[in-house]
C-alpha cells in the first residue's frame, strides 16, 4: 500500500488590529462635540421622500438631520401652544 504523507496546515497569522488611531487634527470633529443631555431613542417610520428631503436640507445647511427634526418640532409646538 501507499505511504501516508502528513501535511502541515499553515496557521493564520494574527491580525494587526485596526492600527493606531489618527492624530486629533485628522479625526472627525464630532469627537469633541459635547452632548447637552442624554439622547434617547424615538422611533417612527416616515415616507422615503420625506426622509430624503430632511437629509438634503441638513446637508444644504451643514447641520444634522436630528437638528432639523428638533427645530421643526419645536417650531410647530411653539406655534400651536394655546
Residue 77 confidence (pLDDT): 93
Query: pLDDT (tens digit, 9 = 90+) per residue, 12-24?
Result: 666 667 888 777 7
Per-residue model confidence as pLDDT tens digits over 43-74: 999 999 999 999 999 999 999 999 999 999 99
| Residue keyed to cell 504523507 | 5
What is the reported pLDDT for 40? 85
**Torsions phi, psi of 54, nearest 5?**
-65, -45
Q: Which residues contact 25 (CB under 8 A, 6 or more apart)?
A: none
Domain boundaries, the chain: 44-82
| DSSP classification of residue 20 | S
Determine if the pTM surpasses 0.75.
no
Amino acid at each position: 500500500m501507499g505511504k501516508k504523507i502528513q501535511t502541515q496546515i499553515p496557521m493564520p497569522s494574527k491580525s494587526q488590529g485596526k492600527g493606531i488611531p489618527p492624530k486629533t487634527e485628522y479625526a472627525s470633529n464630532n469627537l469633541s462635540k459635547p452632548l447637552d443631555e442624554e439622547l434617547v431613542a424615538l422611533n417612527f417610520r416616515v415616507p422615503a421622500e420625506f426622509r430624503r428631503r430632511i437629509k438634503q436640507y441638513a446637508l444644504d445647511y451643514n447641520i444634522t438631520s436630528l437638528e432639523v427634526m428638533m427645530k421643526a418640532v419645536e417650531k410647530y409646538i411653539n406655534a400651536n401652544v394655546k
